[in-house]
Amino acid sequence: MNKYHKHVCITSEIQDNAYDELMNWLESKCDSFSFCLPHFGKVVVTESNADIYPEYEIGYVEEDEESKKDYEQYRRRVQKYLENISEYIIENYVDIEYCETISGYEKEIFIIKFNNITKKFFENVKDLYGWLYPEFPEDLSFYIDGELYMRSIAHERICEFYSESKELKQFLKNNGLQFCELKY
């Protein structure tokens, strides 16, 4: 679990100018970012997600030919985005857990160094919630020294910061981004 117990969740749309400003803000704060390529058709049962699939034993793997082809096509579609940032990939691995969320399907996860060159990656979409399968990588997240600072879940329209700083709240207000605070 992240060291923060309070989160700031954005409740408004994050697109166009607000999206650009958010990317500038994140570049000024963060040293890396990540995203995942979901493989929806490949079910993998581990100790982490066994409660989701009680009918299967740990170690169970299921993937049909159609979903395998679908993932291969998806992987080819997003390859053009990966090529432009490939030399800045810090880590690339496959897991069912990503940014504190556990699922029943596999995801290919990329962690990338954040700099002026990799920032151009974010010009491909002008809406934080536009980073969606089947055309783009999903669930952008940003880190400071390896600690999760901001995560998004595009298909659920979730964006949350693992911070409660006054500077962050002022930035959000200045850019017309509405937010709420979650405490736990």
- How is residue 130 written in tokens? 């536009």
123-127, 130-134, 174-178, 180-184, range with the lowest pLDDT:
180-184
Long-range own/partner contacts, residues 70-74 (CB < 8 A, 24 or more apart)? 70/40, 70/41, 70/134, 71/39, 71/40, 71/41, 71/42, 73/134, 74/37, 74/133, 74/134
- The conformation of residue 37, written as its DSSP 8-state character, comes to E
Residue 4 has pLDDT above 80, yes or no: no
CB atoms within 10 A of CB 55: 6
- pTM, whole model, 2 decimals? 0.90
pLDDT at site 96? 87
pLDDT at site 145? 97
Distance of CA 184 to the CA centre of its chain: 22
Q: Are 137 and 118 in contact (CB under 8 A)?
A: no
What is the C-alpha separation between 148 and 4, in angstroms, rounded? Answer: 9
Looking at per-residue pLDDT, the higher value among 64 and 29 belongs to 29
Phi, psi for 31 (deg, rounded to 5): -110, -10
Name the residue among 18, 7, 6, 17 with its Cα closest to residue 177. 18
% helix, strand, coil for the chain, step of 5:
30, 40, 30
pLDDT at site 5? 57
Q: List pLDDT tens digits, range 135-184.
A: 999 999 999 999 999 999 999 999 999 988 999 999 999 999 999 988 76
What is the C-alpha separation between 105 and 48, in angstroms, rounded? Answer: 12
Q: Residue 1: which pLDDT band, with cuts at 50, 70 and 90? A: very low
Q: Residue 6: which pLDDT band, with cuts at 50, 70 and 90? A: low
Q: List pLDDT tens digits, range 165-179.
A: 999 999 999 999 999
Give the amino acid at 113: K
Q: Would you list the domain boundaries of the chain?
A: 6-183
Q: List pLDDT tens digits, range 73-119.
A: 999 999 999 999 999 999 999 998 888 888 888 999 999 999 999 99
Q: List pLDDT tens digits, range 8-49.
A: 999 999 999 999 999 999 999 999 999 999 998 888 888 988
